[in-house]
Structure formats: structure tokens, C-alpha cells
Amino acid sequence: MVVETAKNQIILNQIVGQKKESRAVETDVIVNDIKPDVLNVISTHGIVSIYKKEIMEGKIRIDGAINTYLIYIADDEKSSIRSLNTSLDFTQIIDMENCRENMDSQINIAIKSFDTRVINGRKLNIKATIETSIRIYANEVFDVITGVEKVDDVQLLNNTQKITSLIGNGTNKVSAKDTIAIDVADDLAEIMKVNLRIVDEETKISYNKVLSKADALVEIMYLTEDNRINTVTTKIPIMGFVDIQNINENSECELQNNLCNLVIKPNSTEEHSIYVEAEIEVICFAYETKEINIIEDLYSISKDIEFNKKRVNAVIERNNISDICTVKENIRIPELTGRVLDVQINPLINDTQTRNGKIIYEGNLILEILFEQNSRINMKPVELPFSFEVISDKIEEKSQIETILKIRQNDFIIKDGVIEITVGIQFCISEQKNKELNMIEEIRMEETRECNTYSMVIYFVKPGDTLWKIAKMFKSTVEDITRVNEIEDANKIFVGQQLYIPRFCRNKIAVEKNG
């Protein structure tokens, strides 16, 4: 018969697949008739949007676009500076062996580089190399047996274990809209370049909801009708709710903001302004860490008990760690005769080593410095190596980590042809520790009645023995053995030690079933 038990339900949120994959997104672009021919490309920049993702059997499909901004020298008498804005649409299908429908995913796509070629004055080829990082999560509901009910003389080997259980997860798409005013002296001709970063992220938990707050930091470079280049920067508030049942103030939240769509264009209804609309997908996972009394082993001194065990890879700890790496460098540009218009920053991690207490990162900071040179625009690429250690007692060598880099500071000072650049790179680290646990799933007991007698045996401790193993072997109890042998610490026995074992002996008689 099945034994009645007390249970505690948990949801195990496990990483079942993890992968990084690089690929090229390529397209040919025809220059619009209203724009002059292209003589030479100065710089290419892009912003990734993910507007659809689908998890399928053994693979994941990602549909997105790279909003691309290209600045070029026109093939005209003045060699004027112009720009192109285009979209590099892509569909990426990545094989993931353990991927199944209805699983959850975490996706980050970073642009590693652009390669733009002039085919002719009216046609360009743009190739972007992107790196996609994917984690696939499976959620398994598990009833942990924490006690046995209505059965006497059952001996339990308990272990109190911290387990991080998923409360739930949810998504919501929110829109950030604003009209950005530019200088009234500027008649807007075209938008040349756009940077967008999500900053100042925070969450607040209310009844069955997570309030997500952040700002979209938008930096726009534009060209005026009289061929001047100017910039404008603004922050647009982003706020939305994600519904998650049973969440409370003690829950732990992991939040991710993904750009789904971006529209930036001259405002058609208001002069000297730019319309900005960004659609953001807010993804939230909520967890709770609780101590659970897990039964590792059990037996009865008077009945035959059988049970099934299942090996479970459980998350026992989850941490979010953040640190700032500040890179300072003096870059000499002798040809710099005007102002610096923009510094594009792309941090790349080349190598990661996880040790106890720290993570060691090696990488490169790729800079594109856009500056004026004798009333012209030029671009200087700079590559700065960096090495950074994130120190935390929460990090162990076997920790599973995922790192996302965000630019939090971008300051530059110009003096005598030298640019002093200060870049703050935020390392956002998701760290978790897993442990394989043996979970008892079902306990069954044979229906018998017994004629009971007791005896005493002598046993000599062997390598690998514990009092629990010895007690189970002889149908005794740890308490009886420690009492009879006057053992003060049940965890301290030694090989060759002589023990007296009070043994329960029985003559089993099967219970006859009626009918």
C-alpha cells in the first residue's frame, strides 16, 4: 500500500541548454533617389530589435532586425556629409538539443562588427556580425516528501536543504514615446545616428504584480539644412506591470528589458523636433529561496518499506552580482581640429575564468571616435584591451554564470589633440549554484502483522559505515545504538570500533485479504 506523506511543492527552474552562436546578417542597400551618390563610408552603427521568438522541438527561432545608421561622404562638389538609415532583417534558427515547446528562454544579441562596402555610387553592401547568447529553462513541478504520516516506528534520515523555487514568470510589452525638441535654429534635414540604452532599471513588488521602471537613454545625431551636425540627448521613462501570481515582497526578481521595435523620425506635426517611439518587452522571473526538510533515506524496524528515488538537479542558490569596470585612456589624434561628435563604444569579452571568490574577464573595448577635421568628418577606430576581476564570496568555481555588459559612463575631454576617454562598463552577472539531490517520490509498505522479539549483536565498524547505515542494516535505531554504546556524538565512529546493536527480530505473517 502507498504510505501517506507530508509534501512541499517546489518548481525547479533548470537550465537545460546554453549556447553562443555568431552569424553574419548581410544585405545590399540602394541609395534613395533624393540622396547624393556615396563616395566613401565613414561609419556604420546599429541597434538590435527582437520582435519575435519561438521555441520549438530541438531548436529556437529568432526574428529581429538591426536598425542601421550609415554616415558617408557624398560624391558631390562639396564632399558633403550625408547618412542612410536602413533595416537589416534577420531570421536565426539555432539548434538546441534539449529544447522543447513551452520552455522559457533568455536571449541576448550583441553586434560585434560591421563591414560596409561601396559597390557603386548608388549601391552598398552591409554585413553585420552578431553574437547570440541563449539560455533555455525548463520548469518542473516537484512534490518533495518531508514526512511520513500514520505509520509508527519509521526511521527518517533528514537533510535541511535550501532550494530556490520558481514562483512564476511573465512578460509585458510597454511603449516609450516622446517628442524631443532640438535647437530652434536648427532646421532638421536628416537623422544621422541613434544610440539607445536602457538605464536606471528597478522593480517594485505589489500584490501579484511586478512594477518595472527604467529609462530609455536616447542620443541622436542629426544634420541641419545648412549642413551643420548637432546632437540631442534625452531620457524617456519606461514603466509597466508584469502579472505573477503568489509573488510577495520577499521574492527575488530577475528582470530583462528587450527592444522589440524602434521608430525615430522627424516630427511631421511640430517643427524643430524628433519623434521617438520604442516598444520594450519586459521579461520577469520571480523566485523564492526556502529551507526544505528533505528525506534522504528511511526504513521501518517492523515493516518492509520500499520507495522510489529520483535524481534532481536543483538550484540551491541564485545571485545577481554587479560591478563597474572603469577604463581610462588618453588617445592622441593629431588630425583633430574641431570637436568630437560621438564616441561609439562596443565592449567584447574574449575570455572568462571562474574561480572561487572571483571571475576574471579579458576583453577589448572597441571605440569609434567621430570627429571634425577641417570642416570635414572623420572616424578613428581604437581598440583598448581590458582585464577585470569581479570579486564576490558568492562565486564558486562550479557556479553557472551569465554576463551582460552595459555602458554606464561615456565621458571624454579634448585638449591639444588628445582625447581623455573615461568609460564605465557595468558587469551584470547572473550566478547560480546547482546541486544534484536524491528526491524520494513514493513510499510503499507491505501489509503484514508480526510476532516480535529482540536480540543483541556485536558489530565492528567498517570503512564507509555511519550509524544510520548500521541501524538500517540491523533494523535498529541510531538512538538505541548511541544509548547502549554510550556514544556522545553520533557522527563520530571509527573503523574497527566494537558496537552492541539492539536488534529487532520478527516473524512476518502476511495479512490475508478478503474476497
Which tens digit of pLDDT belongs to each residue from 299-325? 988 888 889 888 888 889 889 999 999
Q: What are phi and psi of 106, to 5 degrees?
A: -125, 120
Q: What is the pLDDT of residues 123-172, one digit of tens each?
A: 999 999 999 999 999 998 988 988 888 888 889 999 899 999 999 999 99
Residue 76 placed within a domain: yes
Residue 156 placed within a domain: no
Q: Clarify whether residues 240 and 328 are in a common domain.
A: no
Residue 251 placed within a domain: yes
Res. 448 pLDDT band, cuts 50 70 90: low
Q: Clarify whether residues 417 and 491 are in a common domain.
A: no
Q: Clarify whether residues 139 and 23 are in a common domain.
A: yes
Report which of 96, 166, 203 is spatially closest to residue 432, judged by C-alpha positions. Answer: 166
Residue 439 placed within a domain: no
Residue 243 placed within a domain: yes
When pLDDT is averaged across residues 57-84 and rounded to a whole number, the result is 94
Give the other-Cβ count within 10 Å of 439's Cβ: 19
Pairing of strands 59-74, 81-95: antiparallel
The domain boundary, picked from 404, 433, 462, lies at 433
Q: Is the pLDDT of residue 252 over 80?
A: yes
Q: Clarify whether residues 177 and 70 are in a common domain.
A: no
Q: Is the pLDDT of residue 445 over 90?
A: no
Look at 453 and 247; give whichever has higher pLDDT. Answer: 247
Q: Is the pLDDT of residue 293 over 70?
A: yes
Q: Clarify whether residues 425 and 455 are in a common domain.
A: no
Q: Provide the domain count of the chain.
A: 4
Q: Clarify whether residues 91 and 1 are in a common domain.
A: yes
Q: Clarify whether residues 89 and 179 are in a common domain.
A: no
When pLDDT is averaged across residues 414-421 and rounded to a whole number, the result is 86
b/e string for 369-394 if b means 16 or more Cβ within 10 A? bbbbeeeebbbbeeebebebebebee
State how far the alpha carbon of 184 is from the alpha carbons of 76, 78, 194, in Å. Answer: 28, 26, 20
The confidence score (pLDDT) of residue 504 equals 66
The domain boundary, picked from 381, 403, 433, lies at 433
b/e string for 69-94 if b means 16 or more Cβ within 10 A? bbbbbbbeeeebbbbbbbebebebeb
The confidence score (pLDDT) of residue 451 equals 47
Residue 132 placed within a domain: yes
The confidence score (pLDDT) of residue 509 equals 47
State how far the Cα of 64 lies from the Cα of 171, in Å rounded to an integer. 18
CATH number at residue 473: 3.10.350.10
The domain boundary, picked from 120, 151, 182, lies at 151
Structural domain for 230, as ranges: 170-287
Residue 310 placed within a domain: no
Residue 296 placed within a domain: no
Q: Clarify whether residues 2 and 145 are in a common domain.
A: yes
Res. 1 pLDDT band, cuts 50 70 90: confident
Question: Comparing 329-338, 426-435, 498-507, which segment has the lowest mean pLDDT?
Answer: 498-507
Q: Clarify whether residues 175 and 224 are in a common domain.
A: yes
Half-sphere exposure of 192 toward its Cβ, with a 13 Å CA cutoff?
A: 26
Q: Clarify whether residues 95 and 3 are in a common domain.
A: yes
When pLDDT is averaged across residues 90-94 and rounded to a whole number, the result is 95
Q: Is the pLDDT of residue 86 over 70?
A: yes
The confidence score (pLDDT) of residue 506 equals 55
Determine what percent of the chain is predicted with pLDDT higher than 90: 65
Q: What is the pLDDT of residues 3-18, one digit of tens each?
A: 888 898 999 888 888 8
Q: Clarify whether residues 4 and 42 are in a common domain.
A: yes
State how far the alpha carbon of 99 is from the alpha carbons of 130, 214, 402, in Å. Answer: 22, 31, 19
Report which of 350, 383, 358, 386 is spatially closest to residue 368, judged by C-alpha positions. Answer: 383
Res. 515 pLDDT band, cuts 50 70 90: very low
The confidence score (pLDDT) of residue 111 equals 93
Q: Clarify whether residues 97 and 214 are in a common domain.
A: no
In the numeric block, the cell 547570440 is attached to 132
